[in-house]
Amino acid sequence: MQKSMLYPRETNCRRVVSLDGMWKFQLDFSSSGRTQGWECGLPNPDLIPVPASFQDFYTEKDIREFTGDVWYETEFFLPGEWEGKEAALRFGCATHRAEVYINGKKAAVHEGGFTPFLVPLNDLAVFSSFNRVVVIVNNELSNTSLPCGETKLLSNGKKISKPYFDFFNYSGLQRSVKLILLPKEAITDFSVDYRLQGEDAFVTYHTITNGVHPVMVKVYDEAGVLVAEANGNDGVLTIPKVRLWEVRNAYLYRFVLKILDQDKILDEYYEDIGVRTIEIKGTKFLINGKPVYLKGFGKHEDSDIIGRGFSAGVMKRDFECMKWIHANSFRTSHYPYSEEIYQMADREGFLIIDEVAAVGMFESLMNFMEASTGKHTAFFQKETTPELLQNHKEAIRELIERDKNHASVIAWSLLNEPETTDESAVAYFKEIFQYAKELDPQKRPCTFALIMNSLPNTCKCYQFSDFICLNRYYGWYLKGGYEISEAEENLRKELDEWKAKNLNIPFIFSEYGADTNPAEHKLPSVMWSQEYQIEFLTMCNNVFDCYDFIQGEQVWNFADFQTTEGIMRMNGNKKGIFTRQRQPKDAAYYLRERWASLEDDKKVKLE
Ligand code: GCB
């Protein structure tokens, strides 16, 4: 069976059965599962829901903090009528790596915790029968994992995760698992690109199949009317009088692909796709040739009890909150999100900066603090760097292959806050950026988020970015509280230095934010109070409005989220504009007013 990232859908020729629900579950505290044959059945399992992170269900700290192999098991029935076709299991993700056993036999391995993978079943599973799947999910961090970190052994023999990043190392089967049926001759990949001319759109498409028969493509509008068709695996579809996908005003066409052998349908697949163009011209982002100013957030997949597990309910609430506050965009900080979130963004007309899990490439357990102290970790000089580079490229390949058809995805973020002050980063960046450019059929802009010490005169890698994403905390980690006037001066000084470089590309603030305890009110303000969060945002926004190359503001963070415990975090990062339960802090009302007054396509105050 050929690899394929296509989202599972039921059609004439395909079937999808959800395996979500309660799975058997066992932590391997003594690392003995492999020698004791757990792949043939867990000896002493508990039950746990899939999809979900496993950490926050239990009352024992040893479970929440568990680092190592966690084992999952379930049974599935493989229908007899599927015989002669291709059956597979599809994992939405397994964080951070997985080994899958079918009826005791090793069937697949996958590295990387945020992208889907298929496990072919035909050779190992039995049709018309129940079959056992056992999955070993490992959540250890290292210098070669994405995200990066370390795994340490405490003197009591227990392992602990030490992330070089600021979010809890949630793991497990965090997205849906599906049993899927594909035809023998199948479409394995499909991509599109667009050109607009007058009122019409020319959609270049490209399909990959594993057979000899050609693909036929039909495009239907939202009313179900056929608007374009073409024959052949590659071609150009003409959509006359196209209705474009616009920011917060989405329109999706249904692309139906079929492999035909005379009258017989060998395979059928569909995707709902918005037609839009994205380009950068000078300091502007242009969607369908019109400028857009990004308003929104860096987010996390993070909520009470299920951790990073996908929940349609949480997703729905997040989109409703983002609509209420007049946001138009978000960054999938710091890893590819669940596929359903991109589908929803397509539907709702949100813009996504899609980030790969390349976070923590600055060796520090508190990089948010240490980046501004001049700390130097020579991260890309390690002997493990070649292996990291390989994993990073594979993660980018999977990300782009998975997400390339989403109208909502307007850019790829290839790293978050890497160390860029050392010459050794340059070769690494060059390879990563070149690779992403080659892979994307739409040649979307590529970028990375700059850490506090990646400054106009110290950053050796910004030249690779098509637009610059600044993560800046003037007024929080630097010059907070009553010193905020100096924070403002420093922020302006940095922006003046960027301006002097005359790069003639857009800049956005991909992070700026202040931790805020929703229970804290103080007049006059102090850091951590609701009042200070508004003061901080107001200061930053006033500065942004003075620089016309600033073409977007994404506040850190949409909602409070869980991190590793420590003296810098009060049971998590509290920079949310919403609480972890998705209720507004005071600053949400401030932002709502500001963003309502900023049109999607211009910076009102400049004009
Ligand atoms: C950053 C990181 C983000 C942190 C944030 C913070 O620069 O990119 O992951 O959570 O700062 O709040 O310190």
- Banded pLDDT at 400 (limits 50, 70, 90): very high
Q: How far is the CA of 114 from the centre of ligand 1 (A)?
A: 19
The answer to whether position 7 is within a domain reads: no
Q: Which residues form the pocket of ligand 1, taking CB atoms under 6 Å from any ligand atom?
A: 165-166, 334, 368, 416-417, 471, 511, 556, 573, 575
- The tens digit of pLDDT for each residue in 95-110 reads 999 999 999 999 999 9
CATH of the domain at 212: 2.60.40.10
The answer to whether position 285 is within a domain reads: no
- The tens digit of pLDDT for each residue in 223-252 reads 999 999 999 999 999 999 999 999 999 999
38 exposure class (CB count in 10 Å sphere: 0-12, 13-18, 19+): buried
Answer whether residue 605 shows pLDDT above 70. Answer: no
Percent of the chain with pLDDT over 90: 95
Nearest to 234 by CA among 203, 200, 266: 203
The answer to whether position 253 is within a domain reads: yes
What would the two tokens of residue 124 be? 């190992």
What is the residue with the minimal CA distance to atom 10 of ligand 1? 166
Q: How far is the CA of 368 from the centre of ligand 1 (A)?
A: 6
Answer whether residue 63 shows pLDDT above 80. Answer: yes
Residue span of the structural domain in which 593 resides: 294-606
pLDDT higher at 599 or 251: 251
417 a catalytic residue: yes
Atom of ligand 1 nearest to the CA of 334: 9
Percent of the chain with pLDDT over 70: 99
CA angle 20, 403, 173 (to 5 degrees): 25
What would the two tokens of residue 151 be? 């795994």
User: Of 155, 182, 209, which residue sits at a domain end?
Assistant: 182
Residue 607: predicted pLDDT: 41
150 a catalytic residue: no
- Banded pLDDT at 560 (limits 50, 70, 90): very high
Which neighbouring-strand residues pair with 228? 219
- Banded pLDDT at 601 (limits 50, 70, 90): low
Cβ neighbours of residue 167 under 8 Å, at least 6 residues apart?
300, 302, 334, 561, 562, 563, 573
Atom of ligand 1 nearest to the CA of 561: 10
- The tens digit of pLDDT for each residue in 143-163 reads 999 999 999 999 999 999 999
Nearest to 345 by CA among 270, 440, 252, 471: 252
Quick one: 158 and 223 in the same domain?
Answer: no
What is the residue with the minimal CA distance to atom 9 of ligand 1? 166
The answer to whether position 9 is within a domain reads: no
Which neighbouring-strand residues pair with 359? 416
Residue 600: predicted pLDDT: 66
Quick one: 97 and 119 in the same domain?
Answer: yes
Helix 385-403 to helix 424-439 angle, to the nearest 10 degrees?
A: 20
Residue 371: predicted pLDDT: 76
Note the maximum CA span of the chain.
Answer: 77
Quick one: 119 and 216 in the same domain?
Answer: no
The answer to whether position 289 is within a domain reads: no
Quick one: 172 and 233 in the same domain?
Answer: no
Q: Tell me how crowded residue 596 is: count the other CB atoms within 10 A of its CB.
A: 11
For residue 557, cis peptide bond before it (omega within 30 degrees of 0): yes
Q: How far is the CA of 165 from the centre of ligand 1 (A)?
A: 8
pTM over 0.75: yes
Residue 364: predicted pLDDT: 80
175 exposure class (CB count in 10 Å sphere: 0-12, 13-18, 19+): buried
**Structural domain total, the chain:** 3
Identify which of 301, 472, 556 to mutate to test ligand 1's pocket (most ligand atoms within 8 A of the CB): 556
CATH of the domain at 142: 2.60.120.260
Helix, strand, coil tally for the chain in percent (to 5): 20, 35, 45
Answer whether residue 128 shows pLDDT above 80. Answer: yes
For residue 206, cis peptide bond before it (omega within 30 degrees of 0): no
Q: Which of 111, 301, 419, 511 is catalytic?
A: 511
What is the residue with the minimal CA distance to atom 11 of ligand 1? 368
The answer to whether position 362 is within a domain reads: yes
Quick one: 45 and 126 in the same domain?
Answer: yes
User: Of 158, 182, 206, which residue sits at a domain end?
Assistant: 182
